[in-house]
Structure formats: structure tokens, C-alpha cells
Amino acid sequence: MELKPHTLTYTLPGTSGGQDANGFPLPDAEGQAVSVECRFHADSSKIYKNEDSTEVAQVGRIRLNAGVAVPAVGTIVTITNANGIQFEGPVRERYEGQMSGRLEV
């Protein structure tokens, strides 16, 4: 029995390059790609509102092990398994506890 059959993939935010000694802009540094084992459940029990007041139904819930960095709200995540991509979109809500983590997407 496989408890974490899915893979969560997302990119951490990059850092600003700033300016050199002459005041010219430096290129921004790209964020680091993160890949974590998880469990994805298709669930549509909640309704979320976007910034423009349009309503979006919840697509699913992602369960993570304790100690795993939980991405911030608004981060674009991809969930894959042996059958391909299961979900791709933004995180709507997050929970990080002592025993586990959870993302609502």
C-alpha cells in the first residue's frame, strides 16, 4: 500500500538582483524547484473568492508529512502520479501543523 502516491512540485520565489555599484540593475535570481511526496484527494466542498469577486470551487486537498515546507497561498503547484498530471493551479488555503501539512486547491 502506497501512502503518498502523488508528487507535489512548485518553485520557491526568486530574489531580486538589486543594483551594481554604478546603479545599473542586476538580473534576478530564479527560485529553487521543490518536489515533495504527497497524497491528493479530489474534493469540492468549499467555494473561494478571487480578488475580482469571482467564485471558484475547491478542486482538492493535498496532504503532506510533518516537517515539509508548505507553499504559500497563491503559489502555483503541480500534482502528478503514475498516470500524469492530476492538478495544476494555485494554492487557495494552507495549514501547517506539528503532525502534518495540508493544502486546499
pLDDT (tens digit per residue) in 83-103: 999 999 999 999 888 888 899
pTM: 0.78
- Structure confidence by residue, pLDDT tens digits, 40-56: 998 878 888 877 888 88
Residue 47's DSSP bridge partners are: 57
DSSP category for residue 95: E
